[in-house]
Amino acid sequence: GDVNAFNAYVQLFTMPLLMLGLMITSLGQAMASLQRINEILNTPIKFEDGKLSIKNFEDIKVNNMSLNIDDTQVLKNINFEIKKGEKIGILGLTGSGKTIFLKTLIRALEPTSGEILLNNENIKNYKIKDVRELIGFSFQENFLFNGTLFENIKFGRDISKEKVLKAAKIADVDEFAKEMKKGYESNGGERGSNLSGGQKQRIMIARAIAPKPDLLILDDATSRLDISTENRIFDNIKKEFKEISIILVAQKISSVKDCDRIYIFDEGKIVEYGTHEELLKSSVLYQEIELSQRNHE
């Protein structure tokens, strides 16, 4: 109704890059997609925008960060670090705060106490738009809309066709797009209903890497992929984007074991961190996860 139309309108200004491309590509499609995208991006910016620009990622340091939602403390005293070029893994049981944590890093949620430093400056002081251009993210919910594979990767942004197709290749979308009659012009269906779980995940990864972000955040983005496909994608990413930094939330230890550091979340806290080898020695939780997954590989 009117309220939705108004929201969509407002969104056009808050998310101009995302929407404009879609509007131009195909208006009818865009209107159908609008509601879906609206749902997706309905993370209104509730807090003040910063003034500083940022173009390059050096590091993130999270110091004693806590976050309350309503009256519940969902993140407790988080200390975390990632430097340029590092690949960081995050593991933890369901509901342990992994997604919420990632959302603070792109300013979709604001810490209640403590601080997030991006290149040694409080993340609050940067323009949100800049932060979200620097950091590519793929959240675990599947945010595909009823459009072509190409449009789902491009996601309405001002990204050249070459870059979109390159991202698709890196994320191994090529593998199944080529098999489809219309290739990248094939329709993914409502919420990607024409695609398998692993195909949807590859589209989401392609979408996240298409703008060549300095820092890539993948929340449970590879759970439906087999290990060889997953490895191939990460090898491609590292080959194409040499300086890229990655934060990877995963379910499988095999997804994170080569990371520079792995953080273990439990009940909103980071209970342990280290390399795969260190955690195998020091963390009972990690040992348990490793043991339970050993026979499935």
- Can you give the binding site for ligand ATP, defined by CB under 6 A? 69, 74, 92, 94-100, 140, 265
- CB-count burial class (<10 Å; 0-12, 13-18, 19+) for 292: exposed
Q: Which does 95 bind (CB under 5 to 8 A by kind): Mg ion, ligand ATP, none?
A: ligand ATP
Give the interface segment with Mg ion, choosing from 28-36, 74-82, 97-105, 178-186 (CB under 5 A). 97-105
Counting contacts by CB under 5 A, is residue 99 touching Mg ion?
yes
H helix intervals, 171-273: 174-177, 197-209, 227-240, 253-256
99 or 104: CB nearest Mg ion: 99
Q: Where are the alpha helices (DSSP H) in the chain?
A: 2-14, 16-25, 27-40, 98-105, 128-134, 149-154, 161-170, 174-177, 197-209, 227-240, 253-256, 276-282, 284-294
Minimum Å gap between C-beta 242 and ligand ATP is: 30
Q: Which does 27 bind (CB under 5 to 8 A by kind): Mg ion, ligand ATP, none?
A: none
Which strand (E) or helix (H) includes residue 263? strand 261-266
- CB of residue 217 to ligand ATP, shortest distance in Å: 12
Q: How far apart are CA 281 and CA 254, in angstroms?
A: 17
Q: How far is the CB of 112 from ligand ATP (least distance, A)?
A: 13
User: Which segment (11-19, 22-30, 92-100, 275-283) binds Mg ion by CB under 5 A?
Assistant: 92-100
The nearer residue to ligand ATP, 103 or 207, going by C-beta atoms, is: 103
Least distance from ligand ATP to the Cβ atom of residue 107, Å: 15
- Max alpha carbon distance in the chain (Å)? 59
CB count, 10 Å around CB of 163? 16
Q: Applying CB under 5 A, which part among 34-42, 94-102, 127-135, 172-180 lies near Mg ion?
A: 94-102
Contact residues toward Mg ion (CB under 5 A) are 98-99
